[in-house]
Structures are given as structure tokens and as C-alpha cells.
Structure 1
Amino acid sequence: MSSPLLTLYRRLSRWPGGRWLFTRAVCFKAPYFASISPRITLLADGRCEGTLADCRKVRNHIGTVHAIALCNLAELTAGLMTDASLPADMRWTPRGMEVRYLAKARGPLKAVAVPERPIASAPAGYELPVRVGISDAAGTEVFTARIAMWVSPRRANG
């Protein structure tokens, strides 16, 4: 059984402009992410891909994509991947993020988020590390993040 988020993505992505609409819906639910104008290009069990355009509003004073814009894209793709991949009896929250800036981020950027271990139901909470790599148009990885997601059972009443 797929998550409601993954079901929505699959339904909308069949239509022209559907991925754009899906991304706008996500940004409506979590408005801060709209500040970077991301685009989710793939959402599947265990994987999320998204893009970020190099435009003025995400640049820093030296003309490259700002470090925090990269962090936002990483958190967004990691969160969507986790939400889309979780069993229905589990929930998640981010607990921390370690980042590495490997090269100047310029031009269109692509993020790929994948879990570092299988995502499964469990009787107690556990840490799920999610790896996010962001690459430029040439395929050079310019940024990596390891996001610690805390996965725990849902409470019976909510």
C-alpha cells in the first residue's frame, strides 16, 4: 500500500504540469519551501528527486546558489522520500543534518534523496539516515547532506 503522498504524486504526475502542481501543493502545506521554488521531478518508494533553478532569489553575494537554499532542497527531498516510503503505522521528524559543500553551486541543480537503510515498521523509534546529493548540470556533486530522521510508531489516537 502506498502512502497518501505517493498516491497523490502518482495521480498528478500523469498529467501535463502535474509535477509542478504537486510541488505547489507541497509548498502550500509547508510554505517555507516555496522560498526556493523547487520542482519535484520523481517521487517513489525509497527515492525522491528535485530540482532548483539558479535564479537571483537563491543566490548569495558571490553569485552562486546560497548554502541554505541547498539545505532547504535537501530537507525537502529527504522529507518527501521518507513520507512516501513509510509504513502507515509509522511517522517521522527530522532530528539533524550534516552538510558538506563540495564545489560552487551554479546553474540548474538536481537533488537525489535515498535512505541509508531499509525503512520498516518497528515497535520502537529508530534513527533513519537519509543521504542527499546535489549535482550541477555537468553531474558534479556540489553538496551532500546526511539527514537524521527519527522514525517512530504512530500513537493509537493520532
Structure 2
Amino acid sequence: MSPALALYRRLAPLPGGRWLYSRLICWKAPYFATIAPRFVALKPGRCEVRIRDRRRVHNHIGTVHAIALCNLAELGAGVMTDATIPASMRWIPKGMAVEYLAKARGAMHAVATPEAPAAEAPAGYAWPVRVSVRDDAGEEVFRARIDMWVSPRGGR
């Protein structure tokens, strides 16, 4: 089990545990603190993370900024990947394609899931992850497909 998943399982049931987990992830990867994420659920093959509606993630027209949505998608995809791939493998984002489907207003809820099961392999491979971001009304406002490069630890 990945350390990130083990930590989530230990903290999530505690009062304030998901908040603390979110802060610790942002301490490890500080740039994600710019969107103040809150993890909702994490298990192999699925990560759910939210951001609140706050001015610091808005653009000039008062909707959630496109890059804040990209950050949310990359965070969810990365943590889900970490929780899912075999312990002998490591990962890094390789590319991302995004679709802006509607104006993003209010709190955003992202769900990251893989397109295929993770595998242990002797060489690196691209592993696509889908991320759907919905508003509080349940409307999908953003969609991303992130290719994670998964490779053996200590290899290329």
C-alpha cells in the first residue's frame, strides 16, 4: 500500500482527519495549496477531492479559473495514481488534455479514475486517468484526461 493511501486510511476517520490529510499533501506538494483542496475519498482506483468557492480561485469574470480546475484535476489524478499502482512502480504526469464544458461556479468536486487497471511492468508506460469535475448542482463543468508515466522505481 502506498504511504499516501495508508496515511489517508489512518487520518480520514478522525475528526478533522481529512482536513489534516489535505494539508499534509499540500505540504509535500506546495503548489496545490493555492487551491486549498479537501480530500473527500481515496481508495485504489478512485480519488475524490473538492475545492470551495473562494475569490482566490476566481478569474476576472467571477468563475473558477481554468488553471485552478487543471490543478484540481492533476491533484486528484496524481493521488489516485499513487494509491493504485504497484509499490514497485512510480509515476509522473506526462500530458493532459482538458475540456471546459460550462462556466465553473461555486464549489467544485473532482473524481479521478483510471481508464485501465494498473500493471507492474519491466518498462515505463503511459497510464491514462480520467477526471470529471462537477459543480454542486451535479453539472459536469470540466473534464481532463491525464497521461501518467508509470515506470519501475529506480528505472527510467
TM over 0.5: yes
Task: Tell me the secondary structure at the aligned position of residue 14 of structure 2.
Answer: coil
Q: Which residue of 2 aligns with 1:7?
A: 6
Q: Which residue of 1 aligns with 2:99?
A: 100
Q: Unaligned 5+ residue runs, structure 1?
A: none
Deviation at 1:3, TM superposition (A): 1.3
Deviation at 1:4, TM superposition (A): 1.3
Q: Which residue of 2 aligns with 1:85?
A: 84
Equivalent-residue separation in structure 1 for 2:107 and 2:154 (angstroms): 41
Deviation at 1:96, TM superposition (A): 0.6
Deviation at 1:143, TM superposition (A): 0.1
Give the residue type in structure 1 aligned to 2:49. G
String of CA shifts for 1:84-115, please: whole Å, max 9, x gaps: 11111101010010000000000111000000
Asked if 1:75 corresponds to 2:74, the answer is: yes
Deviation at 1:124, TM superposition (A): 1.1
How many residue pairs align between the two structures?
Answer: 155
Q: Which residue of 1 aligns with 2:57?
A: 58
Deviation at 1:155, TM superposition (A): 1.5
- Identical residues among aligned pairs (%): 66
User: Which residues of 2 match residues 110-149 of structure 1 at below 5 A?
Assistant: 110-149=109-148
- TM-score, normalising length: structure 2: 0.97
Asked if 1:36 corresponds to 2:16, the answer is: no
Equivalent-residue separation in structure 1 for 2:7 and 2:53 (angstroms): 28
Task: Tell me the secondary structure at the aligned position of residue 49 of structure 2.
Answer: strand
Large movers: runs of 4+ above 2 Å: none
Task: Tell me the secondary structure at the aligned position of residue 121 of structure 2.
Answer: coil
Equivalent-residue separation in structure 1 for 2:116 and 2:31 (angstroms): 28
Q: Unaligned 5+ residue runs, structure 2?
A: none
Give the residue type in structure 2 aligned to 1:44. K
Equivalent-residue separation in structure 2 for 1:120 and 1:59 (angstroms): 38
- TM-score, normalising length: structure 1: 0.96
Equivalent-residue separation in structure 1 for 2:92 and 2:63 (angstroms): 30
- RMSD across aligned positions (CA): 0.8
Task: Tell me the secondary structure at the aligned position of residue 72 of structure 1.
Answer: helix
Task: Tell me the secondary structure at the aligned position of residue 6 of structure 1.
Answer: helix
